[in-house]
Amino acid sequence: MSAESKKRKRLLVCVSCPRALEPALADYVGGEVTRLFGGVTFLTGLGFWSSDGAEFKNRYESDVQKENTLVMLLSVMPDREEEALCLIEKTFAAAKSKFALSYQSIHVESQDVTANHFQIACDT
């Protein structure tokens, strides 16, 4: 595999989600995303944020909020990043309505990564 064909954009998505709804949200979003991009991974976590966290400050003085967080990791070919971002926005908006979720926004980061795949043989 050439170095060029290993290039990917890794999209990391964080969204607030009650633990009880994480499986349903992951199933819904995961199905939609996998149909276009071949696969996706979800992790559960705990997120902390400040209500003024979107501002650029040396110190954040507002109360610290804690919430259950569903994290999605998606790797796509670089030329499909915008398509993936549109799908993420559309699918999480639909999921918010479908599952009566309260999030107002989702956090998305994009990173340049290199993908490697290895076939693992079983010795019998």
Structure tokens at 107: 């956090």
44: Cβ contacts below 8 Å, ≥ 6 apart: 19, 22, 68, 69, 70, 71
pTM summary value: 0.88
Confidence of residue 83 (pLDDT cuts 50, 70, 90): very high
C-alpha 60/C-alpha 49 separation (Å) is 10
Query: Is residue 120 classed as helix, strand or coil in its secondary structure?
Result: coil
- Please state the rounded mean pLDDT for residues 81-89: 98
Reported as a single tens digit per residue, the pLDDT across 3-57 is 668 999 999 999 999 999 999 999 999 999 999 999 999 999 999 988 888 889 9
Q: Which CATH number fits domain 4-114: 3.90.550.10, 3.40.50.1820, 3.40.50.300, 3.30.70.120?
A: 3.30.70.120
C-alpha 69/C-alpha 86 separation (Å) is 21
What is the sign of the dihedral through the CA atoms of 80, 85, 91 and 95? positive
- Please state the rounded mean pLDDT for residues 64-90: 97
Residue with tokens 């559309």: 90
